[in-house]
Amino acid sequence: RKDRDDAWTRNVEASSYSYWAVFLICVMFAGLFQWIGVCLIPLLNGGDEYATDWGTIAIVRPEIISAPVAIVFTGLAYLYMCLCFYLFFAGLILLYTVVDDLRRIGEASKDRPEVDYESELNEAGLRVMRWIFRCTVLGILIATVMKLQSSYLASNGMNIVAWLVGDLSSAWYEHDDASNGFSYRLPTQFSSLVIVISTCFVFLYGAIRLGVGSRLHVPLWKMSAVVALLVAGYLLIGAFAGFSILLGAGVLFAIYGLFDPWFGRWQASESQSVA
**Which residues are paired to 181 by β-bridges?**
155
Same domain, residue pair 104 and 128: no
Q: What is the mean pLDDT of residues 36-41?
A: 85
Q: What is the pLDDT of residue 83?
A: 93
pLDDT at 252 exceeding the cut of 90:
yes
Crossing angle of the two packed helices 118-153 and 188-211, in degrees rounded to 10: 160
Q: What is the pLDDT of residue 268?
A: 45
Q: What percent of the chain has pLDDT over 90?
A: 28
Q: What is the pLDDT of residue 222?
A: 85
pLDDT at 266 exceeding the cut of 80:
no
Same domain, residue pair 29 and 52: yes
pLDDT at 152 exceeding the cut of 50:
yes
Q: What is the pLDDT of residue 199?
A: 94
Same domain, residue pair 107 and 133: no
Same domain, residue pair 56 and 171: no
Q: What is the mean pLDDT of residues 262-270?
A: 57
Same domain, residue pair 146 and 244: yes
Task: Give CA angle at 133 (132, 138), nearest 5°.
Answer: 100
Same domain, residue pair 111 and 134: no
**Which residues are paired to 185 by β-bridges?**
50
Q: What is the pLDDT of residue 207?
A: 87
Q: What is the mean pLDDT of residues 88-108?
A: 86
How many Å apart are CA 89 and CA 67, to the nearest integer? 32
Higher pLDDT, 106 or 26: 26
Q: Note down the domain range covering 81.
A: 1-115
Q: List the one residue out of 11, 76, 68 whose CA is nearest residue 44.
A: 68
Report DSSP state, residue 156. -
Same domain, residue pair 84 and 144: no
Q: What is the pLDDT of residue 272?
A: 43
Q: List the one residue out of 219, 195, 194 whose CA is nearest residue 207.
A: 219
Q: What is the pLDDT of residue 100?
A: 86
Which residue, of 83, 115, 147, is where some domain finishes?
115
How many Å apart are CA 197 and CA 136, to the nearest integer? 10
Which residue, of 88, 115, 142, is where some domain finishes?
115
Higher pLDDT, 9 or 214: 9
Cα 116 versus chain centre, distance: 37
Contact call for residues 211 and 129 (beta carbons, < 8 A): yes
Contact call for residues 60 and 13 (beta carbons, < 8 A): no
pLDDT at 145 exceeding the cut of 70:
yes
Same domain, residue pair 12 and 46: yes
How many Å apart are CA 223 and CA 212, to the nearest integer? 14
Q: What is the pLDDT of residue 116?
A: 58
Same domain, residue pair 159 and 267: yes
Which residue, of 62, 80, 115, is where some domain finishes?
115
How many Å apart are CA 92 and CA 81, to the nearest integer? 17
44-80 pLDDT per residue, tens: 887 666 667 778 888 888 888 888 898 999 999 999 9
Count of structural domains within the chain: 2
Q: What is the mean pLDDT of residues 32-52?
A: 80
Per-residue CA distances from 155 to 144, 162, 222 (Å): 16, 11, 34
E strand or H helix at 40: none
Same domain, residue pair 102 and 22: yes
11-20 pLDDT per residue, tens: 777 778 889 9
Same domain, residue pair 159 and 82: no
Higher pLDDT, 5 or 125: 125
pLDDT mean across residues, the chain: 80
pLDDT at 215 exceeding the cut of 70:
no
Q: What is the pLDDT of residue 232?
A: 94
How many Å apart are CA 100 and CA 8, to the nearest integer? 10
Same domain, residue pair 147 and 259: yes
**φ/ψ (deg, to 5) at 78:** -70, -30
Q: What is the pLDDT of residue 113?
A: 58
